[in-house]
Structure 1
Amino acid sequence: MPALADRERSGRPARFTPIQVAEAKALACRLPAEAGVPLARWSCPELAAELTTRGITGPVSASTVRRWLADDALKPWQHRSWIFITDPGFRAKAERVLGLYARTWQGVPLGKDEYVISTDEKTSTQACCRCHPTLAPGQACAMRVNHTYGRGGALAYFAAYDVHAAKVFGRTEPRTGIDPFMNLVTQVMSQEPYVSAKRMLWIVDNGSSHRGKKAADRLAAAFPNAVLVHTPVHASWFNQVEIYFSVVQHKVVSPNDFTDLTQVADRLRAFEDRYNATAQPFQWKFTTSDLDDLLARLDRHITDHHEESSDDPAT
Structure 2
Amino acid sequence: MPICAAVTVVLTAAERRRLKKMAYGHKTPHQARQRATVVLLAARGRGNARIAAETHLHVDTVRTWRGRFANGGIPALADRKRSGRPARFTPVQVAEAKALACRLPAETGVPLARWSCPELAAELTTRGITGPVSASTVRRWLRQEALKRWQHRSWIFISDPQFRTKAERVLDLYARTFDRVPLDEDEYVISADEKTSIQARCRCHPTLAPGQARAMRVNHTYGRGGALAYLAAYDVHHAKVFGRCEPHTGIAPFMNLVTQVMSREPYASAKRVYWVVDNGSSHRGKKAANRLATAFPNAVLVHTPVHASWLNQVEVYFSVVQRKVVSPNDFTDLAQVAERLRDFEDRYNATAQPFQWKFTTSDRNDLLARLDRHTADHPEISSTALAA
**TM (normalized to structure 1)?**
0.84
Among residues 76, 81, 84, which one is paired with 2:149 in the alignment?
A: 76
Cα distance, 1:177 vs. partner?
Answer: 0.1
Q: Residue 183 in 1 paired to residue 256 in 2? A: yes
Alpha-carbon spacing, 1:267–1:19, altered in 2? closer, same or farther (3 Å): closer
Among residues 341, 351, 375, which one is paired with 1:268 in the alignment?
A: 341
Q: Residue 23 in 1 paired to residue 91 in 2? A: no
In structure 1, the residue matched to 2:294 is 221
Query: For residue 271 of structure 1, what is the amino acid of its counterpart?
Result: F
Query: For residue 185 of structure 2, what is the amino acid of its counterpart?
Result: K
SS in 2 for 1:251: helix
Among residues 110, 124, 129, which one is paired with 2:202 in the alignment?
A: 129
Separation in 1, partners of 2:95, 2:220: 47
- Higher RCO (C-alpha 8 Å, min separation 6): 1
Among residues 233, 242, 258, which one is paired with 1:160 in the alignment?
A: 233
In structure 2, the residue matched to 1:249 is 322
SS in 2 for 1:33: helix
The runs of 5 or more residues in structure 1 that have no matched partner are 308-315
Separation in 2, partners of 1:192, 1:141: 48
Query: For residue 83 of structure 1, what is the amino acid of its counterpart?
Result: I
In structure 1, the residue matched to 2:113 is 40
Cα distance, 1:14 vs. partner?
Answer: 4.2
**TM (normalized to structure 2)?**
0.70
In structure 2, the residue matched to 1:282 is 355
Among residues 257, 278, 288, which one is paired with 1:205 in the alignment?
A: 278
Moved more, 58-67 or 98-107: 58-67
Separation in 2, partners of 1:203, 1:125: 23
Query: For residue 203 of structure 1, what is the amino acid of its counterpart?
Result: V
Separation in 1, partners of 2:82, 2:318: 62
Q: CA deviation digits over 1:107-156, x for unaligned, max 9?
A: 22111111000001111122223444445556666555444432222211
Alpha-carbon spacing, 1:102–1:259, altered in 2? closer, same or farther (3 Å): same
Cα distance, 1:47 vs. partner?
Answer: 2.6
Moved more, 132-141 or 122-131: 132-141
The runs of 5 or more residues in structure 2 that have no matched partner are 1-67, 381-388
Q: Residue 63 in 1 paired to residue 166 in 2? A: no
Bigger share in helix: 2
Separation in 1, partners of 2:221, 2:128: 51
Question: Share of identical aligned residues, percent?
Answer: 85
Separation in 2, partners of 1:143, 1:8: 45
Moved more, 8-17 or 164-173: 8-17
SS in 2 for 1:125: strand
Q: Residue 237 in 1 paired to residue 237 in 2? A: no
Alpha-carbon spacing, 1:129–1:21, altered in 2? closer, same or farther (3 Å): closer
Q: Residue 96 in 1 paired to residue 164 in 2? A: no
Cα distance, 1:261 vs. partner?
Answer: 2.1
Alpha-carbon spacing, 1:40–1:297, altered in 2? closer, same or farther (3 Å): farther
Query: For residue 366 of structure 2, what is the amino acid of its counterpart?
Result: D
Moved more, 2-11 or 129-138: 2-11
Task: Give me the CA root mean square deviation.
Answer: 3.0
Among residues 181, 185, 193, which one is paired with 2:266 in the alignment?
A: 193
Moved more, 83-92 or 15-24: 15-24
Quick check: which has more Rg, 1 or 2? 2
Cα distance, 1:291 vs. partner?
Answer: 2.6
Moved more, 197-206 or 221-230: 221-230
Q: CA deviation digits over 1:150-203, x for unaligned, max 9?
A: 222221111111111111111111110001101111111111111121111101
Separation in 2, partners of 1:213, 1:6: 74
Moved more, 17-26 or 133-142: 133-142
Q: CA deviation digits over 1:250-278, x for unaligned, max 9?
A: 33223333332223222222222222222
Separation in 1, partners of 2:81, 2:326: 63
Moved more, 245-254 or 128-137: 128-137
Separation in 2, partners of 1:138, 1:20: 44
